Structure 1
Amino acid sequence: MLNKVLIIYTGGTIGMVQDENGSLHPFAMERIYDAVPQLKHCSYDIDSCQLQNIIDSSNMTPAFWADIADIIEREYNRYDGFVVLHGTDTMAYTASAISFMFKNLTKPIVLTGSQLPLGMLRSDGRENIICALEIAASKRVRIPEVCIFFESHLYRGNRSTKVSAENFDAFKSYNYPSLAKAGIDIIYKEHLFLPMPTEPLRVRKVFDTRVAVLKLFPGITREVVQALLSAPDLQGVVIETYGSGNAPTETWFIDALEAAIARGILVMNVTQCKAGAVKMRQYAASCEMDRIGVVSGHDITMEAAITKMMYLLGAYPDNKAHVNKRLEESIRGELNGLAGD
């Protein structure tokens, strides 16, 4: 029996074709074999569907993440793997969010897209789709993860970030190696995969969006920081700090964070650097944040940090202490830290 893969189209550059006037429009997914005729020769069965509302990925929201999860959960037992076609701008956010929603995942969910539309001659989308489908349909290697495939590399989704708006090599995973590389053969690094779960699949789709990102810069003012921390009903903040987690040591800055934490706002420290990790107390500039209860994000990406915070706040709305603890733990392989369930 052939393996079966479901393609889910959400929108984005990859699904565009040019009309006679040169304008770009989404193509119907049932015409996928016309756009990528090589798929007629594949050794697995392909079905396709699309979200009710096709969107530019800049308009992605947790409601659309839940729609994607609904499709995968509903079809989970019918397919051996899933490929999600997605715009590149927020792909790393979506991959992170889906990874948190699906606990005990035993099948690959591979997100991919392109920098040029399928309808253009030089599109990178054909190779990305073909390789993503090969990986999702593989009988030899089963990857129990949410991944991003782009330009010959398969990355853990919640370790990935978009690094280029122009190059085909648009995604990187700086703090975790790629899971596979496609050349003449697809070379899998199975020792890097998450363990295959033995418990039943569990899906949680509630995200609490009452969060914010505070990016530090030299000259940031008390008024800006206090305005953000005073946002109505704010539940959590991800601070993008310098280097290994350093921030201003001025009294007004520490006092503002401490007051926010006292009001029940969760504060997570994530480095602005693409590679490396937060190391609280390594320098004096992070000691005060550690003292007042700011949580270390270790080597998590910003995309994974904000989606993880939204996910945990949605999953445990009445237990901030538990959320605070889980933020520092690895729950889906998103950081190198303590392992959590």
Structure 2
Amino acid sequence: MTNKTKILLIYTGGTIGMVKDYETGVLRPFRFEKIKERLPELSQLDSDIEHISFEPPIDSSDMNIEHWKRIAYSIEKNYHKFDGFVVLHGSDTMSYSASALSFMLENLAKPVIFTGSQLPIGDLRTDARENLITSIRLASLKENRKSVIQEVCLYFEYKLYRGNRTMKIDAENFQAFDSPNYPVLAESGVHLKVYKEYLKQTQEEEQLKIFTEFNPNVAFLKIFPNITESFLEGILNIPALEGVIMETFGSGNAPTSNWFLNTIEKAINRGVVIVNITQCMRGFVLPNKYEAGSHFENIGVINGKDITSEAAITKLMYLLGKGKNSKELKISYEKAIQGEMS
């Protein structure tokens, strides 16, 4: 009998799973059954590693609800066979996927760690090697036979983050992600430091349930100076629209014109759910700080507090999919479900 932890790699696509053909310069998908030939360091890990791959691999720009379902079903199917899961994913939409899976995987008590890379796995200067090896190490951590990490996370460039607190901030550098409103969960340096006080802890282990009926009828509305009435009405009257993430200025501010507030209120009265989040990278929506914010509260706009755009839109899809009425949805949205807001 082995004491090794069992880790499942789920390769969805992205740069981390590519190798360069040095004759043509073209990137092609890497065959993960040969992973230990490419990364012999994996043999030093005290883990049995298996893999499954999306066929064909998905460019993360094409990621959608159906792909999130495939990841969730893969975890559900293998949940009792493995101690942890590492999802290899393109970096562009990784924060959206990590946020979505945090809501889909209800009662999760094992690590699901998203990672990827800015350079292909075969590149001389690749960041894929460290990101993959440390993600596997983190997914393998146990204390008293229980997983240390019991949530959906994202690991990139020496830092482990809560997945639904992240956003991609850089397309050029290796430090591509940040968690602006929540501390890092672990850091990799000479030693692997885990900050347990910030980890989500499952009090009683319940059976994993997955919820995949996300409602796609949602939109972003970014407020900008000189926004017009016709533009606002055009967005809020999109056929079949059921929910809007409204990105406002500063602490949740927007124009105070009567036409603006009336248009928002009409949409809410028609049943469109509107969530107010800040355009700022850091900080909270504080509805009573300025006049505009207090108007929003009076007409039923939901306070998104310090949630990221990525978590805001996926949480809205999730709660709309639950079929809650507007009052129930407002109460549910303004509470943290999976540690996504303060």
TM-score bin (small chain): over 0.9
Q: Which one of the candidate residues 118, 121, 125 is aligned to 1:122? A: 125
Deviation string 1:177-230 (CA, Å, 9 cap, x unpaired) is 000001111101111111224122221111100000000111111111100100
Q: Which one of the candidate residues 168, 187, 190 is aligned to 1:184? A: 190
One-letter code of the match for 1:14?
I
Mapped contact 1:3–1:80 kept (Cα < 8 A): yes
| More moved, 22-31 vs 70-79 | 22-31
Counterparts of 2:326 and 2:37, CA distance in 1: 51
Q: Give the Å deviation of 1:139.
A: 2.4
User: Counterpart in 2 of 1:309?
Assistant: 316
Q: Which one of the candidate residues 64, 75, 80 is aligned to 1:77? A: 80
User: Counterpart in 2 of 1:18?
Assistant: 20
Mapped contact 1:6–1:83 kept (Cα < 8 A): yes
One-letter code of the match for 1:299?
D
Give secondary structure in 2 for the equivalent of 1:206: coil
Say if 2:295 is the partner of 1:288.
Answer: yes
Deviation string 1:292-312 (CA, Å, 9 cap, x unpaired) is 110000000000000000011
Q: Give the Å deviation of 1:53.
A: 3.1
One-letter code of the match for 2:135?
A
Q: Within 5 Å, which residues of 2 pair with 1:197-208? A: 197-198=203-204, 199-208=206-215
Counterparts of 1:222 and 1:170, CA distance in 2: 37
Say if 2:216 is the partner of 1:213.
Answer: no
> So what's the TM-score if we normalise by structure 1?
0.96
Counterparts of 1:226 and 1:312, CA distance in 2: 24
Identity %: 48
| More moved, 23-32 vs 272-281 | 23-32
Give secondary structure in 2 for the equivalent of 1:269: strand
Deviation string 1:46-105 (CA, Å, 9 cap, x unpaired) is 000112331110000010000000000000000000000000000000000000011111
> So what's the TM-score if we normalise by structure 2?
0.96
Deviant stretches of 4+, over 6 Å: none
Say if 2:171 is the partner of 1:168.
Answer: no
Deviation string 1:310-330 (CA, Å, 9 cap, x unpaired) is 011112x25332222111110
Counterparts of 1:326 and 1:29, CA distance in 2: 41
One-letter code of the match for 2:6?
K
Deviation string 1:142-185 (CA, Å, 9 cap, x unpaired) is 11110000000000000000000001001000100000001111
Counterparts of 1:202 and 1:59, CA distance in 2: 26
Q: Which one of the candidate residues 67, 71, 83 is aligned to 2:70? A: 67
Mapped contact 2:76–2:208 kept (Cα < 8 A): no
Q: Which one of the candidate residues 219, 238, 241 is aligned to 2:248? A: 241
Say if 2:53 is the partner of 1:47.
Answer: no
| More moved, 58-67 vs 131-140 | 131-140
Mapped contact 1:35–1:119 kept (Cα < 8 A): yes
Say if 2:111 is the partner of 1:108.
Answer: yes
Structure 2 residue ranges without an equivalent (≥5)? none
Q: Give the Å deviation of 1:41.
A: 1.8
- Kindly tell me: are residues 28 and 197 of structure 1, through their superposed partners in 2, closer, same or farther at Cα, counting changes over 3 Å? farther
User: Counterpart in 2 of 1:4?
Assistant: 6
Counterparts of 1:35 and 1:221, CA distance in 2: 55
Mapped contact 1:106–1:145 kept (Cα < 8 A): yes
Mapped contact 1:237–1:266 kept (Cα < 8 A): yes
One-letter code of the match for 2:218?
V
User: Counterpart in 2 of 1:339?
Assistant: none
Counterparts of 2:55 and 2:19, CA distance in 1: 19
Mapped contact 1:105–1:197 kept (Cα < 8 A): no
One-letter code of the match for 1:74?
K
Counterparts of 2:324 and 2:169, CA distance in 1: 36
Mapped contact 2:277–2:309 kept (Cα < 8 A): yes
Counterparts of 1:318 and 1:100, CA distance in 2: 15
One-letter code of the match for 1:161?
M
Structure 1 residue ranges without an equivalent (≥5)? 337-341
One-letter code of the match for 1:117?
P
User: Counterpart in 2 of 1:297?
Assistant: 304
